[in-house]
Structure 1
Amino acid sequence: MHALSDNLILNTDSYKSSHFWQYPPGTQFVSSYVESRGGDYPNIVFFGLQMFIKDYLLKPVTAAMLDEAEVILNAHGVPFNRPGWQYIVDTHGGYLPLHIQAMPEGMVTEPSQVMMQIVNTDPNCYWLTSYLETMILRAAWYGTTVATRSHACKQLIARYLKETGADLSGLDFKLHDFGARGVSSFESAAIAGLAHLVNFKGTDTLSAVLAAKRYYNESGMPAYSIPAAEHSTITAWGREREADAYQNMLNQFIGKDKLVAVVSDSYDLWQALDLWGSRFKRQIVESGGRLVVRPDSGDPVEVVLKTVQKLEQHFGAESVNGYRLLHPAVRVIQGDGVNINSIGQILENLKQHGYSADNLAFGMGAGLLQKLDRDTLKFAMKASAICISDSWQDVYKDPVTDPGKQSKRGRLALVRDDAGRLQTIREQDLGERENLLRSVYRNGELLIDETLSEVRSRAV
């Protein structure tokens, strides 16, 4: 997916190029780890490493890359470790002599637990571990943060479905990804959109579908969408022909077991709802399909409730475990102003007025894929151990001005304690316990190649 440069040497921060001269004499190995130090969510879903490895680490560094990097970095004002990279080309065929361990993707973890551990496998390449920090952190924080936010939304929606008497059969389609246009690039849309698909199966981010097939071995269709109107396809008919626009949507798309979503606030949402419930009611109900109404402006907490109430007036509702559920021919999707806070407020308001959460689905755009950063979960990659002259010793930071940035020490492992909770320990203390950090990459080879289905099975 990367198009600007295929040169891995240049996929780093500029200052990293000077670090090969900064380690103690006799350094042979540097071991670093990745963790979330806290942030907005107590449960974290790890995701995205396999995509990164396939895209960046399975192709060798070449002599041409060295030539390009040398010219650019020297002109840029930083030194270039030509002998070190030449050694990798000559001795390892250009493949990086690294060992990467990581927890299984899709696994639900907690802040302050080790997620990944990286160490060089050739003592002549001690400088390589930290050189990759820039790209390794990107591989970890972005997909993980989106998967985590999506997972938190799923847990919230599931809670309200249960509390309002609904089953969870439709949960996978309750949060639809509208975010492709709100991110910074096609690659961002693919990474973040696929992270959302760890938890849900509804998306309009087509690049995420492509990424699932390319990077996570999905032979079938990993996610779905439905025909849907946008404001341009409704307003193109003109205000005086709004009803004709709606009629066209029904004629083109509704039918037995078919769904169509129609944005209905182009002019007057309440008049539009009256149209759906009068002029078009018979066609909708007799079609055997479903109209999904999208109210797309105003206070979502108030507008969603009133939309459901108006649809109930026109189409009726049944009581399911004490909460009202609209006629099967109509549902609502809210796609404006949606975030994890507004989802909770909207569903709570429906609940307080006696409506099932199953009346509603959500679409989320930039709030799902873009309105987050590395600090949302306080991601960091830090060196924790170094081997100098055949002797391993701890490496750590412990800033007096910010105890929250204290880093871990030693070679690490991840286990479950007797109560089943995750615990980061020193590798030397592992004993007979299973290390949940699995070897996923070594010296140019991907060691674990999973499907999205396998990843999804863990994100519960």
Structure 2
Amino acid sequence: MAFNPILNTDSYKLSHWKQYPPGTDGMYSYVAARGGTASHVLFFGLQALLKQYFSQPLCAADIDEAEALVALHGVPFNRAGFERILSLHGGYWPVRIRAVAEGELVPTGIPMITIESTDPELFWVVSFLETALLRSWYPISVATRSFRAKEIIRRYLAQTADSLEGLPFKLHDFGARGVSSYESAQIGGMAHLVNFMGTDTLAAVAAARRYYHEPCAGYSIPAAEHSTITAWGRPHEGDAFANMLSQFAKPGAILAVVSDSYDVFHAVSELWGERLRQQVIDSGATVVIRPDSGEPVQVVAEVIDRLAASFGTTVNSKGYRVLNHVRVIQGDGVNLASIEAILSRLAKLGYSADNVAFGMGAELLQKLDRDTHKMALKCSAIRIAGEWRDVFKDPVTDPGKRSLGGRVVAARNSRSSWGLNTLERVSDADLQMRVVWENGKLLLDEDFATIRARAAAHLEH
């Protein structure tokens, strides 16, 4: 589908160039989380957004197409303005964008992105680009949810496991089919991979390669789905399991087999635990059993109990039991609360968090929106006749929507705590934002490994 940069906005933006005070020649806005479900958000995704949507210049055909559509649509069209962008700026938006480093954990209320105009006659493009730039809420929200899951899992591994070695593969992205588009799978799936390395969202692996120079950001394993088991018929469920072993169970390999097609407890105790037990052991592989229905906390605990009875356990240095030869992955009904509840139950039963991994689908990539963290882009300063003026909103009906005034930036104080400052006052040492984009040029191009390391460092404090 052809992409017209002029149409990547809200309709009412097309009339805003006529609405600002006479003499306006500059505009400055910021993006921040105003609150929501977490005190901090993990910043990610701006680089991909800039490469995909800001790097394509508008052309004469875009102007003609937009003008024809807008004439029918009922709003004004600033042809002279867009022609100036084309003739004077090569079709690129005349803006400067600063941002905190991707992978940073930023408190709510602190700007993560700022955007300001660089052409006095085209100041209005700052507001015009709000629609596109604010879509950064999506990767930020997914990265934050994934990070919070990692915090929970890490805490239980620290309590019940010998090491944190398995942490990167403890939450697997099952969300590709549960999102609205291929693009959402790319963006949201990448955001998850900032924190983990397990995914079945192939689009995300390709996107991290494309936008962040990562050869392969995530990994998967051979795994069964219900159709590959039920196709054998109920009397032959054990044969379907045996086929999985013969096809994929090699020394050192890992494979996952969905086992609730009929009766998960029969499958675990009778098929895996008796009929196929020796074959599993002799294969040298780790077989991951996937229950996919029922109440997650109860089902996972019972499945692990039954596997322990059949395959035995080893007690680790923390005094918790670890299954021999087999593991469990829970991919149904998984959210932050159920992850916590499952791991808490297992710990109380004396099982290590090493025994279980999780798959999260729509809960990870789709069941969130801009209000999850109350993300907003707000104008905070206007320049009129060369003089900057603070602007802000302060609605009496909702103090939580009060916005910041001035050319605000994210900064650190003498105690290295996050805080606010302005461009006029902040020192270079305290400023926590870098110019990443200016007049069509990407000025900072980070790799995925750097962003991952930055995010992981926040778990160590």
TM (norm. structure 1) is: 0.98
1:41 aligns with 2:23: no
| Deviation of the 1:414 alpha carbon | 1.5
> 5+ unaligned residues in a row in structure 2: which ranges?
457-461
1:137 aligns with 2:134: yes
| Deviation of the 1:432 alpha carbon | 4.9
1:62 is matched with: 59
1:83 is matched with: 80
1:118 aligns with 2:115: yes
1:86-145 CA distance string (max 9 Å, x none): 01101111111100000011111110001010001000101100000001000x200000
1:163 aligns with 2:154: no
For residue 326 of structure 1, the aligned residue among 323, 327, 352 is: 323
For residue 295 of structure 2, the aligned residue among 296, 299, 312 is: 299
2:339 is matched with: 343
For residue 424 of structure 1, the aligned residue among 420, 426, 441 is: 420
2:459 is matched with: none
Which sits farther off after the overlay, 50-59 or 184-193? 50-59
1:286 is matched with: 282
Query: Contact 1:166/1:357 (CA < 8 Å) preserved in 2?
Result: no
Q: Structure 2 counterpart of 1:431, which letter? A: S
Query: Contact 1:41/1:152 (CA < 8 Å) preserved in 2?
Result: no
Q: Structure 2 counterpart of 1:211, which letter? A: A
Which sits farther off after the overlay, 52-61 or 149-158? 52-61
Secondary structure at the aligned position of 1:428 is classed as coil
1:217-246 CA distance string (max 9 Å, x none): 11x321100000000110000001111101
1:273 aligns with 2:271: no
1:53 aligns with 2:50: yes
> 5+ unaligned residues in a row in structure 1: which ranges?
none
Q: Structure 2 counterpart of 1:95, which letter? A: Y
1:438 aligns with 2:421: no
1:334-390 CA distance string (max 9 Å, x none): 000000010000110111111111100000000000000000000000000010001
Query: Contact 1:103/1:116 (CA < 8 Å) preserved in 2?
Result: yes
> Structure 2 CA distance, aligned partners of 1:422 and 1:149?
21
> Structure 2 CA distance, aligned partners of 1:283 and 1:417?
61
Query: Contact 1:30/1:386 (CA < 8 Å) preserved in 2?
Result: yes
| Deviation of the 1:434 alpha carbon | 3.0
For residue 223 of structure 1, the aligned residue among 192, 199, 218 is: 218
Q: Structure 1 counterpart of 2:70, which letter? A: L
> Structure 1 CA distance, aligned partners of 2:241 and 2:70?
59
2:145 is matched with: 149
Secondary structure at the aligned position of 1:114 is classed as coil
| Deviation of the 1:60 alpha carbon | 1.1
1:262 is matched with: 257
Q: Structure 2 counterpart of 1:263, which letter? A: V
Query: Contact 2:413/2:430 (CA < 8 Å) preserved in 1?
Result: no
| Deviation of the 1:317 alpha carbon | 0.4
| Deviation of the 1:433 alpha carbon | 2.9
1:180 aligns with 2:207: no
Secondary structure at the aligned position of 2:359 is classed as strand
For residue 360 of structure 1, the aligned residue among 340, 356, 360 is: 356
Query: Contact 2:5/2:56 (CA < 8 Å) preserved in 1?
Result: no
1:60-100 CA distance string (max 9 Å, x none): 11010000000011100011110000011011111111000
> Structure 2 CA distance, aligned partners of 1:68 and 1:375?
33
> Structure 1 CA distance, aligned partners of 2:7 and 2:427?
40
> Structure 1 CA distance, aligned partners of 2:345 and 2:378?
44
2:95 is matched with: 98
Which sits farther off after the overlay, 192-201 or 268-277? 268-277
Percentage identity across paired residues of the two chains = 54
Secondary structure at the aligned position of 1:278 is classed as helix
1:406 is matched with: 402
Secondary structure at the aligned position of 2:435 is classed as strand
Tell me how large the CA RMSD over aligned residues is. 0.8
| Deviation of the 1:424 alpha carbon | 1.4
Query: Contact 1:254/1:287 (CA < 8 Å) preserved in 2?
Result: yes
2:241 is matched with: 246
> Structure 1 CA distance, aligned partners of 2:289 and 2:52?
40
Secondary structure at the aligned position of 1:227 is classed as coil
| Deviation of the 1:426 alpha carbon | 1.7
Secondary structure at the aligned position of 1:459 is classed as helix
Secondary structure at the aligned position of 1:35 is classed as strand
Aligned length: 454
